[in-house]
Amino acid sequence: MDTTFDRETAITKLEDGRYSATMATSWWVVRGPNGGYLAAIILRALTDAVDDADRTPRSLTVHYASAPVEGDVELLTVKERVGRSLTTCSCRMEQHGKLVALAVAAFSKPRPGPSFCDVVMPQVPGPEFYVSTSAPREAPPIATRYETRWAIGHPPAPGAPTGARAVAGGWIRLPELRPVDALLAAAITDGWLPPTFSRIQEPVVVPTVDLTIHFRADLPHPGLADDAFVLASFRTNVAADGFLEEDGEIWAPDGTLLAQSRQLATILP
C-alpha cells in the first residue's frame, strides 16, 4: 500500500534480519514519537523477517527504553524459534548505538479449538452520530494523524470536573482511509488520549513503559471498508507509585473484537 501511514512506517532491509526506518515527526508526542507508531514499525520488520503469510501476528510486546530523536533507527530481528505452527521472534530497535525499544512477538497459523468472546463491545451510537474533533493549536503533531470522534468518556477541558472513572475512547480512523490491518491496529492501541486525563486535574505526561497487543481476529477484517471507523475503548483502573496501567480494545463496527492491549506507563509532571 502507498499511503502516508505506510510511508511513515516504511522499513529498508539492510541485510538478513536487519532493517532501518526513519522517524516521522508527524507522530511526535510531548517527547519523541508515539509508542503505537514505534510498535507498528517493529511489527512491520518482524512480519518481513518471519516471511510466512500463513503465520499472522498473535502477540506483540514492546518495552520502550528511550525516546528516539528525529532521524534513522536500526532494527535487529531474530527468529528465536520456528515451530510447526508458531514462530517466536524478537526485535531490538537502536539509534546511534542506544537502545530505543525491545520487542518479542508470536506469529502463528490458525489452530483448531473452542471459540467464545465474553468481552462486550461498548454500546454507543455509530460514528455518523458524532462530530470529528479538531486538535487544539497547542496539541502535539500526533493529534492530527487520526480522525477521532469521542463516544466514551469526555475530552479533558480546563476547569471541567473530573470523571468518576478513567475511561476514554470512540471512533477512530486514519485521514487517508487505509484498511485496518495488524500494523494499523497496533498503532491504534496507543492512539487515543490517555483516559487518566479525565480523572485528574494536574498536567502530566504518561510515556509508555511496555505495551502488549493481542490480535484477536483476521486483519484486515472481512467486510470492513477502507473508510470505516473502528471503535477504540480504553480504561485505567489503578495509578500508584508513579505508574498506571491502561487496558484497551479495538472493535469493528459489526462487534468483532479485533485487538486487545495492556500497557504500563509512568506518570510524569
* Per-residue model confidence (pLDDT) at position 201: 77
* Per-residue model confidence (pLDDT) at position 188: 98
Beta carbons within 8 Å of 107's beta carbon, 6+ residues apart: 46, 47, 50, 52, 55, 56, 57, 58, 86, 87, 89
For residue 183, the domain's CATH number is 2.40.160.210
The answer to whether residue 160 is domain-embedded is: yes
The span from the CA of 214 to the CA of 88, in Å, is 14
pLDDT digits (tens, 9 = 90+) for 50-63: 999 999 999 999 99
Q: What is the pTM of this model?
A: 0.96
* Per-residue model confidence (pLDDT) at position 159: 65
* Per-residue model confidence (pLDDT) at position 141: 92
CA angle, 120 then 63 then 191, to 5°: 45
Residue 134 has pLDDT above 90, yes or no: no
What's the mean pLDDT in 102-131? Answer: 94
pLDDT digits (tens, 9 = 90+) for 210-240: 999 999 999 999 989 999 999 999 999 999 9
Residue 161: pLDDT band with limits 50, 70, 90: low
Supply the range of the domain harboring residue 41: 4-110+126-266
Report CA-CA distances (Å) from 154 to 106, 133, 195, 246. Answer: 35, 11, 9, 17
Residue 75 has pLDDT above 80, yes or no: yes
133, 140, 65: which is closest to 97 by C-alpha? 65
198, 186, 89: which is closest to 153 by C-alpha? 198
The answer to whether residue 119 is domain-embedded is: no
CA angle, 179 then 180 then 181, to 5°: 105
Label residue 180 exposed, middle or buried (CB < 10 Å: 0-12, 13-18, 19+). Answer: buried
Work out how many domains the chain is built from and give that number. Answer: 1
The answer to whether residue 162 is domain-embedded is: yes
The answer to whether residue 121 is domain-embedded is: no
Residue 133 has pLDDT above 80, yes or no: no
The span from the CA of 22 to the CA of 7, in Å, is 10
The answer to whether residue 19 is domain-embedded is: yes
Three-state DSSP class for residue 164? coil
What's the mean pLDDT in 23-30? Answer: 94
